[in-house]
Amino acid sequence: MRQLTGQPLVYARANHPRFVAELKDFIRFPSVSAQPRHRDDMKRCAAWLARHLSEIGLEGVKVISTAGHPIVYAEWLRSPARPTLLIYGHYDVQPPDPVDEWRSPPFEPTLSGDDLFGRGASDDKGQMFAHIKAIECYLKTLGSLPVNVKCIFEGEEEIGSANLIPFLSQNSRELAADVAVMSDMRMLAPDRPALTYAMRGALSLEIEVRGQKVDLHSGIFGGAVHNPLQAMSEILASLHDRSGRVTIPNFYDRVRNVSDEERRYLARTGPTDEEILRDARAARGWGEPGFTLYERTTTRPALTINGITGGYEGPGVKAVIPVRALAKINFRLVADQEPEEIDLIFRRHIERVTPPTVRATVRTHFKARPARIDHRHPAMRAASAAYEKGFGAAPVFLRSGGTIPVVSVFKEMLRIPTVLMGFALPDDRLHAPNEKFHLPNFYNGIATSVWFMKEIAGGSANDHRLPLPRGKG
């Protein structure tokens, strides 16, 4: 097989400097999706990306308008007998704030040693660009790809992908593929690649507690009415028991037990409690008894309060009993918990624990199912082999506590699993000042993508075999 990808990989190595120059051009667009003043920058960035995809030889390139920022689509479908790979990425970036803390301008990509600094360098421009360059390596040397490819690069990942979901549902037939790949996550270290095989689902809600109809003076009325802030504290405090378990009835009913074998694997390969606490800069752990911190954050569900507000929050004192208190609640769910069902039992529970002295209203913001790809899935085996060749090390299989909604959306709407193939490093400072991309990871990422396409095509054994179960996850 090595000779088959020889030409693309030789081409890659010869063109590294140009690839980095192009990535810098890509990063220079201040494509901040959250900020309306960057609306034109978003358009210009999408147009640049589309032109680039045409130039490397992709076909059917389109910039698709949405109610928000455009989606860029491209394809190469000239191997009807081979599997189809959906490559996902996003060209929008987080706001660069706080700008003062950057050592180089966020949108003037700056090389320092092996690192390229700039907003979006790693999240996600650099990582998605590795796949784009891998495609170029094939098309400019062999004139073809080992698999069919459909690329979807969106401009709203950092603001919730609101327009991607209807686009996927309206075009599910055109977007049909066998497997998706995305590189928008971390490895453990430059020589420790990782494949995420499970992510938690999410359910975000807010609770509003209201009492009397007007703000009251806490001197004149203190002691006679049930303060909404106090009622809110009482409600929130009732959601966990002393041990750290969620008290909502039936909350754990559908939580699937992890096999002893998987628990041993997690214990052997995952971060220790000490490592997690060091990353969290926390002195002590907390949570559900009987599980490691890695398990509590990945195989077990969690309920977190993200914010509470109500009454006087300024300096000094204001003697007020406010009319309302508001709390933001975030669940992380694991298989087989259904966000809709948790939403329902949460609302029932809040109704039950709210005393008659106040009224509580629950609003749902966001739902995403837990997602999982079997690590023995052929695409995972392909990714694993590709990593070994691209980075010189077999990947660790990780569970993540986070949620990438697009993964469950691909599963639900396109019925395909997603390979989560990270090229970022833990210290890349995603979403923070001085974000960077480690260029050796860019180069190894390109090689990994080159190998991955080959592996998915069943290349190592037989170029014509299709190891991938088609059209289902």
Q: Does 300 bind its own copies (CB under 8 A)?
A: yes
Cα separation of 222 and 226, whole Å?
A: 9
Considering beta carbons, is residue 6 or 290 the nearer one to its own copies? 290
* Residues from 149 through 188 that contact its own copies (CB under 8 A): 160
Name the CA dihedral angle for 106, 112, 116, 119, rounded to a multiple of 10 degrees. Answer: -20
Q: Does 267 bind its own copies (CB under 8 A)?
A: no
Give me the residues paired with residue 396 across strands.
Answer: 194
Stretch that binds its own copies, among 53-61, 130-138, 175-183, 207-215 (CB under 8 A): 207-215
Q: Does 317 bind its own copies (CB under 8 A)?
A: yes
Q: What is the full DSSP assignment across 165-187?
A: HHHHHHTTTTT--SEEEE--SB-
Stretch that binds its own copies, among 86-94, 302-310, 344-352, 444-452 (CB under 8 A): 302-310
Cα separation of 93 and 34, whole Å?
A: 9
The residue whose two tokens read 């398990």 is 295
Considering beta carbons, is residue 22 or 124 the nearer one to its own copies? 124
Cα separation of 306 and 363, whole Å?
A: 14
Name the CA dihedral angle for 417, 375, 87, 36, rounded to a multiple of 10 degrees. Answer: 80
Considering beta carbons, is residue 151 or 325 the nearer one to its own copies? 325
Q: Does 217 bind its own copies (CB under 8 A)?
A: yes
Q: With H, G, I as helix, E, B as strand and everything else as coil, classify residue 348.
A: helix
Considering beta carbons, is residue 97 or 114 the nearer one to its own copies? 97
User: Taking the complex as a whole, how short is the minimal distance between the CB of residue 303 and its own copies, in angstroms?
Assistant: 8
The residue whose two tokens read 């709210």 is 354
Stretch that binds its own copies, among 22-30, 96-104, 135-143, 298-306 (CB under 8 A): 298-306
Of 451, 421, 373, 381, the C-alpha closest to 187 is 421
* Residues from 388 through 447 that contact its own copies (CB under 8 A): 400-403
- C-beta neighbour count of 146 within 10 angstroms: 25
* Residues from 19 through 48 that contact its own copies (CB under 8 A): none
Stretch that binds its own copies, among 136-144, 233-241, 412-420, 460-468 (CB under 8 A): 233-241
Q: With H, G, I as helix, E, B as strand and everything else as coil, classify residue 289.
A: coil
Considering beta carbons, is residue 218 or 441 the nearer one to its own copies? 218
User: Taking the complex as a whole, how short is the minimal distance between the CB of residue 11 and its own copies, in angstroms?
Assistant: 37
Which of 286, 290, 352, 461 is the binder for its own copies (CB under 8 A)? Answer: 286
Return the structure tokens found at 246: 């969620």
